[in-house]
A and B are shown apart, each in its own frame.
Chain A
Amino acid sequence: MILNTDSTKPIYVQIAEWLENEVIAERFKDDEKVYSQYQLADLFNINPATAAKGLTILVEEKILYKKRGLGMFVAPEAKTMILEKRRNETLTKMVKDIVLEAKRLSVTKEELIQLIHNCEEEI
């Protein structure tokens, strides 16, 4: 497994996102055990503390839950939570970037909306 080490995204964030993608793709299902920090470290060739940080983010967001001495498990409804979160955070941030760039290029609101319509049709 290869990580993007040049990315501006910290490695632990990339780990958390990779795990989320696995949950979305249902390679990890509800209440199923996910990789431990050591398995992730081995898999991605990274420090176990970095891997642990990626897991901790998901525990804090209640996407994973901890069972003492047994490991980390996928919370019920995790997939829905991730999709919801991506919609709220990722999309909002992307839209913000697009609006900023449009402003810089003096693209009007109407033109921007038209661009989105065009794009949708192409896809």
Chain B
Amino acid sequence: MNVIDCQKVSKDFRRTNALEDITFQLTEQKITGLIGRNGAGKTTLLKILAGLTKHRSGEVNVFGKSPYNNLMVSENSILVDDQMTFPDSLTLEEVLQSAPAFYKRWDTEFASRLFQYFKLNPKQQHSKLSKGAKATFNMIFGLSTRCELTMFDEPTNGMDEAVRSDFYRALLKDYIAHPRSILISSHHLAEIEQLLEDILLIHKGRVVLHQSLDEVKEYAVAVQGLIADVERWTVGEEIIHSKRIDDQRLYVVVKNNSKLERARIEGASIQTLAASEVCMYVTSETKGGIDDVFK
């Protein structure tokens, strides 16, 4: 069953398009990375899925229902981001105590163990927390809901290195014990890559790639060598990125294809790329990157 089904979803703010014709499905119990550059539309998409914003056109279904103003969807999903607010009249301890009333799969024991591990103060108010402590609390809350669809929007913003790696580990261990659909956005793919099964890459409000992590890795390769050689090896291929190393040599990122094996035998240096590099090149504005500015 599809947990999320988006068909040609669009959304605009005044005159700028935030999302354009977003179409994808998310099948059950996978960890998917929502990847994109700043302003790609990640947050807007997550807010629509969580039912916090309305889209303009197209169709959005979460658990087969339109998420906007839908109780069933909000009971079974959560969006963890830095805009989460909790009533100031409650201490953190009380927030955790009231949670089971809203989330039927809430794990009280797990929540308090995480709370103690990260050494948060139970008597404090949410609005008084530092940026890092707030991110930590929100993450604890999000994990403990055990929601069928758990979404994180840049969850590690503000967390220090140690908390980050603890969070990723906790997310993975809890997912193994209680499989559920997890959608996690980040502009640091390299950091979360190991946890992911699939990648949903969006750029300028559109879906660019939606594949397994390994398929993304194999999507493109880098070829380098003398200009004439590289041009001959990559003729007719889809060039994603190209950069002059010096006046004789060229570095080109092309879509992977079987013809490149021939080039390798002829002495081409062909390197595989990390998934984060593939995503970066696929979504770069100019073919030459920042170096073009200095030409």
Chain A residues proximal to chain B, CB less than 8 Å: 3, 5-6, 8, 10-12, 38, 41-42, 45-50, 53, 100, 103-104
Contact = CB atoms under 8 A, between A and B. Distances in A.
Contact of B267 (A10, A42, A46, A104): A104
16 contacts: A5-B190, A10-B214, A41-B172, A41-B176, A42-B176, A45-B168, A47-B194, A47-B195, A47-B197, A47-B213, A48-B175, A49-B212, A50-B194, A50-B214, A53-B214, A100-B267
Interface in B149-176: 168-169, 172-173, 175-176
Contact of B30 (A8, A12, A41, A49): A49
Given A45-B194, A53-B214, A100 B265 contact: yes
Interface of B: 30-31, 168-169, 172-173, 175-176, 190, 193-197, 212-214, 217, 265, 267, 271-272, 274
Chain A binding surface, main DSSP class: helix
Nearest to B195: A47
B271 A8 contact: yes
A50 B197 contact: yes
Nearest to A9: B272
B197 A45 contact: no
B194 A46 contact: yes
A47 B173 CA distance: 10
A2 to B, nearest CB: 11
B272 A45 contact: no
B176 A46 contact: no
Max chain B Cβ within 10 angstroms of own Cβ: one of A3, A11, A38, A50: A50
Contacts of B196: 47
A49 B265 CA distance: 34
A43 to B, nearest CB: 11
Contacts of A6: 274
Contact of B173 (A42, A49, A50, A103): A42
